[in-house]
């Protein structure tokens, strides 16, 4: 089938053999994650700043009560990509997610650049989230009358006397430490914290429901229908996270059955909570009065529930913490998979003999994210995110179409509905969102892309497992 792998950058990993163990025992992960642990990791990655910050921001300045529509539109667009991820997760239950899918269907160079982009994107997301938590933490300490030295409260240039955001940096290292304890222990922690987060959101929705004034829903489209769609572009970044969770496929006890379900369950649970939360928020306060930064806290204060407002602030910290866990897990598994495939030095693919996790890359990612969180303002750190994830969505949606028509006989435990229109919607929406990104994001992306190109053509192409197999006469396939 096809041409020889020696054709170079278009060679791809044969799907028939991709489920087989790759490499020695020191390069293997342990399958311990069940369906609900995977779902918790997915929910942990999706629900975070979206419910506690973005909902208020978009309601106040872009969509009004139609922020509910913004989340629904973003959720539908995200689901288009989620279906594609679910089909691949059942078909190729290996670490690496979009990197592995791209490598297997579109070829080595496509897989490399998606993996290379995600290394930066996921690490930057961890850093941005850490900075956000640090801000909440400093605020809560101030409320308690505790005032820390200025030098440790923010990155240079973010305030008088600021030298480093120490709490954000330490938090990145603590998450890395948690992940080195083994995926089973780390997942138990994540499941517990996600449970607490969901409980806080449910309490907020339940209590807030009794303080809704339906008059606040009028007008429903104060910024026009276009405002709701503009808001969708903003909140889209609050409705993914399942992509990072899917990188843990190789650590699932039954990835072919559990991963597709976990992806769909995590998105469905998150969307229900998002929609209900938006109804409560815009019903409690007129959209003009909603605080763009702490919508729910101020909404509950406005009705005299000051104690619950503080609980919400704590819930926001807990909610955002789980996002850090999910995306640091994601970046370490992508790095591990790329190294095991030979595209990066195999030294990085060595796992701990006791906990069976890639501790080397975990500590490197922890240190890198700590450096970004500690010394870059949140705006500059945020500019490193988004474009790589959107491109990963494009690659996965295109790849699922290509593979469905090219290899229809492959056994699939989940099939993307509405082929090819549903994944095509994911492609169109992702490309549309890319046009909203700032020019600084494009500059950083191009620089990172060029660095990746140098590494691929000088090292990765010549050291990949497929290249070595071909030299031994084993070969591979291309498109």
**Residues 202, 198: Cα–Cα separation, whole Å:** 6
Task: Classify the C-alpha dihedral 128-336-96-403 as positive or negative.
Answer: positive
In three-state secondary structure terms, 124 is helix
Tally of CB atoms within 10 A around 312? 26
Query: Is 277 part of a structural domain of the chain?
Result: yes
Classify residue 323 as exposed, middle or buried by CB count within 10 Å of its CB (0-12, 13-18, 19+): buried
Q: Identify which of 420, 398, 365 has the alpha carbon closest to the alpha carbon of residue 244.
A: 365
Query: Is 180 part of a structural domain of the chain?
Result: yes
In three-state secondary structure terms, 326 is helix
Cα angle 99, 107, 476 (rounded to 5 degrees) comes to 115
For 126, residues 6+ apart whose C-beta sits below 8 A from its C-beta are 172, 175, 324, 327, 328, 331, 365, 369, 373
End-to-end CA distance of the chain: 9
Query: Is 420 part of a structural domain of the chain?
Result: yes
Q: From first to last of its 479 residues, what are the pLDDT tens digits of the chain?
A: 333 434 567 787 777 656 554 566 556 778 888 999 999 999 988 887 667 767 888 888 888 999 999 999 888 888 888 999 999 988 888 878 889 898 988 889 989 999 999 998 899 889 888 887 777 677 677 767 888 888 887 888 777 888 888 989 999 999 999 999 988 888 888 899 899 889 888 988 999 999 999 999 999 999 998 888 888 877 876 787 888 888 888 888 888 889 999 999 999 999 999 999 999 999 999 999 887 766 777 788 788 887 777 777 777 777 778 889 999 999 999 999 999 999 999 999 899 888 889 999 999 999 999 999 898 876 666 666 667 778 888 889 999 999 999 888 888 889 999 999 999 999 998 888 788 777 777 888 889 999 999 999 999 999 998 888 777 764 444 44
Q: What is the 3-state secondary structure (H, E, C) of 129-187?
A: HHHHHHHHHHHHHHHCCCCCCHHHECCCCCCCCCCCEHHHHHHHHHHHHHHHCCHHHHH
Yes or no: say if 11 and 466 are a contact pair by the CB < 8 Å rule.
yes
Yes or no: say if 34 and 198 are a contact pair by the CB < 8 Å rule.
no
Any idea of the CA torsion for 273, 234, 329, 339, to the nearest 10 degrees? Answer: 150
In three-state secondary structure terms, 14 is coil
Tally of CB atoms within 10 A around 285? 25
Classify residue 371 as exposed, middle or buried by CB count within 10 Å of its CB (0-12, 13-18, 19+): middle
**Residues 115, 103: Cα–Cα separation, whole Å:** 9
Q: Which residue has the tokens 């429903």?
A: 220
Yes or no: say if 124 and 372 are a contact pair by the CB < 8 Å rule.
yes
pLDDT at residue 382, as a whole number: 63
Query: Is 241 part of a structural domain of the chain?
Result: yes
Q: Count structural domains, the chain.
A: 1
How far CA 383 is from CA of 112, 129, 376, 444, in Å, comes to 22, 13, 11, 8
**Residues 36, 354: Cα–Cα separation, whole Å:** 24
In three-state secondary structure terms, 33 is strand
Query: Is 392 part of a structural domain of the chain?
Result: yes
Question: What pTM was computed for the model?
Answer: 0.84
**Residues 91, 85: Cα–Cα separation, whole Å:** 10
Query: Is 8 part of a structural domain of the chain?
Result: no
DSSP 266-307: HHHHHHHHHHHHHHHHHHHS-GGGS-SSSHHHHHHHHTT-HH
- Name the residue range of residue 411's domain: 36-469
Q: Enumerate the β-bridge partners of residue 33.
A: 252
Tokens for 86?
């679910």
Query: Is 289 part of a structural domain of the chain?
Result: yes
Query: Is 14 part of a structural domain of the chain?
Result: no
Yes or no: say if 83 and 91 are a contact pair by the CB < 8 Å rule.
no
pLDDT at residue 452, as a whole number: 94
DSSP 8-state class, residue 459: I
Tokens for 329?
């897990």
Q: Which residue has the tokens 């200025």?
A: 150
CATH number at residue 85: 1.20.1740.10
**Residues 322, 197: Cα–Cα separation, whole Å:** 9
Half-sphere exposure at residue 407, Cβ-oriented, CA atoms within 13 angstroms? 17
pLDDT at residue 470, as a whole number: 77
Tally of CB atoms within 10 A around 256? 18
């Amino acid at each position: 089938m096809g041409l020889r792998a020696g054709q170079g950058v278009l060679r791809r990993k044969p799907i028939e053999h991709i489920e087989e163990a790759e490499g020695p025992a020191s390069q293997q992960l342990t399958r311990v994650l069940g369906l609900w642990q995977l779902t918790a990791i997915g929910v942990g990655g999706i629900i975070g700043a979206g419910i506690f910050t973005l909902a208020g921001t978009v309601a106040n300045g872009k969509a009004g009560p139609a922020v509910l529509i913004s989340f629904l539109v973003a959720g539908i667009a995200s689901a288009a990509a989620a279906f594609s991820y679910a089909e691949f997760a059942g078909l190729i239950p290996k670490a690496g997610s979009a990197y592995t899918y791209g490598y297997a269907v579109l070829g080595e160079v496509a897989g490399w650049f998606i993996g290379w982009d995600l290394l930066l994107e996921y690490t930057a997301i961890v850093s941005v989230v850490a900075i956000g938590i640090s801000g909440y933490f400093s605020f809560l300490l101030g409320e308690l009358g505790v005032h820390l030295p200025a030098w440790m409260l923010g990155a240079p240039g973010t305030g008088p006397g600021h030298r480093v955001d120490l709490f954000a940096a330490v938090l990145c290292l603590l998450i890395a430490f948690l992940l080195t304890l083994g995926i089973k222990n780390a997942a138990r922690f994540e499941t517990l914290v996600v449970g607490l987060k969901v409980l806080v959101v449910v309490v907020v929705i339940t209590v807030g429901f009794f303080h809704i004034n339906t008059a606040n829903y009028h007008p429903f489209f104060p910024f026009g229908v276009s405002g709701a769609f503009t808001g969708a572009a903003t909140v889209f970044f609050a409705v993914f996270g399942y992509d990072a969770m899917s990188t843990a496929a190789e650590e699932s006890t039954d990835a072919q059955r559990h991963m597709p379900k976990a992806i769909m369950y995590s998105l469905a649970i998150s969307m229900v909570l998002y929609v209900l939360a938006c109804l409560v928020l815009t019903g409690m306060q007129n959209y003009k009065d909603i605080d763009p930064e702490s919508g729910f806290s101020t909404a509950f204060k406005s009705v005299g529930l000051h104690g619950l407002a503080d609980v919400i602030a704590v819930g926001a910290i807990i909610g955002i913490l789980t996002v850090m866990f999910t995306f640091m897990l994601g970046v370490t598994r992508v790095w591990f998979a790329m190294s095991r495939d030979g595209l990066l030095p195999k030294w990085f693919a060595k796992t701990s003999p006791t906990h069976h996790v890639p501790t080397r890359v975990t500590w490197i990612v922890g240190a890198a994210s700590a450096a970004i969180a500690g010394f870059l303002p949140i705006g500059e750190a945020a500019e490193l995110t988004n474009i790589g994830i959107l491109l990963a969505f494009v690659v996965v949606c295109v790849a699922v179409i290509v593979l469905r028509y090219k290899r229809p006989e492959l056994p699939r435990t989940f099939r993307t509905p509405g082929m090819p229109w549903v994944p095509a919607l994911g492609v169109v929406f992702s490309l549309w969102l890319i046009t909203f990104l700032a020019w600084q994001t494009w500059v950083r992306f191009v620089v990172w892309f060029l660095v990746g190109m140098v590494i691929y053509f000088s090292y990765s192409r010549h050291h990949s497992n497929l290249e070595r197999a071909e030299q031994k006469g084993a070969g591979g396939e291309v498109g």
